Structure 1
Amino acid sequence: MSSLLKRCYLGMKKVLFYSLILITCCVLSFFTPLFSSVGLWLLNHLPIPKVTALSTSKASEAFSRRSDQHKLEKYQNLLENSSGHPLSSALDDPSDIKAANSAKPNDINQIAPAATANHYILHKPTAYVVLGGGLTEASSDDEKQAAAPDTDTNTNTQDDKPTNTPLSANNIVLNDYSLNRMKTVVAHYKIHPLPIIVTGVEAPWMRDWLTSYGIENVITENASMNTCENARFTAKRLKLSNVYLVTDAYHMTRTRRQFALNNIQTSPIVAPLPMQKSWSRPKDNAQHSRRTIYELAAYTRDIFAPQQNCRQADDVSFATLLHSRKPEAVKTF
Structure 2
Amino acid sequence: MNKTHWMVRLVQIAAVLFVLFGCLMVFIYTPFYSKLIVKSLNYFVPVEVDQLAAQSQKMGALSDDDSFEPGSDLWIARQAYLKLMEQAIQSDEPQDLTVIQARYKALQQLIEEENQKENDQKDRPKVPLLNTQVVSASEAEVDNPAQKMKDLLEMNSAENKGLMTQYTEFLKTHEIEQPASEAEPIDDETYHDLAKMDLAKTNGQSVKQPTAEPYAIVVLGGGLTLDKNDKDIIVNDYTRLRLETTLDVERQHKLPIVLSGVEAPYMQAWLKNYDVDAKLLEDRSMNTCENSRFSSLLLQKKGGAPTVILITDQYHMPRTRRLFALNGIETIPVVAPMPTTLTTWRPSEKNYDHSRRANYELLATLRDVWFGSSDCREVP
**Shift of the alpha carbon at 1:26?**
1.3
Q: How far apart in 2 are the matches of 1:11 and 1:224?
A: 53
For normalisation by structure 1, the TM-score amounts to 0.67
2:214 is aligned to 125
**Shift of the alpha carbon at 1:305?**
2.0
State which structure, 1 or 2, has the greater radius of gyration over its C-alpha atoms: 2
1:119–1:267 Cα contact (<8 Å) kept = no
1:309 is aligned to 375
**Shift of the alpha carbon at 1:190?**
0.7
For normalisation by structure 2, the TM-score amounts to 0.59
What percent identity do the matched residue pairs reach? 34
2:337 equivalent to 1:272 = yes
**Shift of the alpha carbon at 1:113?**
4.6
Q: How many residues align?
A: 258
1:293 is aligned to 359
**Aligned runs of 1:183-198 on 2, under 5 Å?**
183-198=244-259
The equivalent position to 2:270 in structure 1, one of 209, 231, 239, is: 209
**Shift of the alpha carbon at 1:238?**
1.4
2:108 is aligned to none
Amino acid at match of 1:38: L
Q: How far apart in 1 are the matches of 2:251 and 2:238?
A: 21
Q: How far apart in 2 are the matches of 1:85 and 1:129?
A: 23
Instruction: Name the CA shift for 1:308/1:265 in 2 (closer, same or farther; >3 Å).
Output: same
Amino acid at match of 2:366: T
Amino acid at match of 2:58: K
1:127–1:195 Cα contact (<8 Å) kept = yes
1:224 is aligned to 285
Question: What is the root-mean-square deviation of aligned Cα atoms in Å?
Answer: 3.6
2:322 is aligned to 257
The equivalent position to 2:192 in structure 1, one of 69, 79, 89, is: 89
**Shift of the alpha carbon at 1:237?**
1.1
**Shift of the alpha carbon at 1:299?**
0.1
1:48–1:118 Cα contact (<8 Å) kept = no
The equivalent position to 1:136 in structure 2, one of 210, 225, 228, is: 225
Unaligned runs of 5+ in 1: 74-82, 101-111, 141-168, 317-333
Instruction: Name the CA shift for 1:116/1:59 in 2 (closer, same or farther; >3 Å).
Output: farther
Q: How far apart in 2 are the matches of 1:11 and 1:310?
A: 49
Amino acid at match of 2:225: T
Q: How far apart in 2 are the matches of 1:28 and 1:275?
A: 19
1:128–1:243 Cα contact (<8 Å) kept = yes
**Shift of the alpha carbon at 1:23?**
2.7
**Shift of the alpha carbon at 1:195?**
1.0
**Shift of the alpha carbon at 1:18?**
5.9
Unaligned runs of 5+ in 2: 69-73, 76-104, 106-186
Matched position secondary structure for 2:262: coil
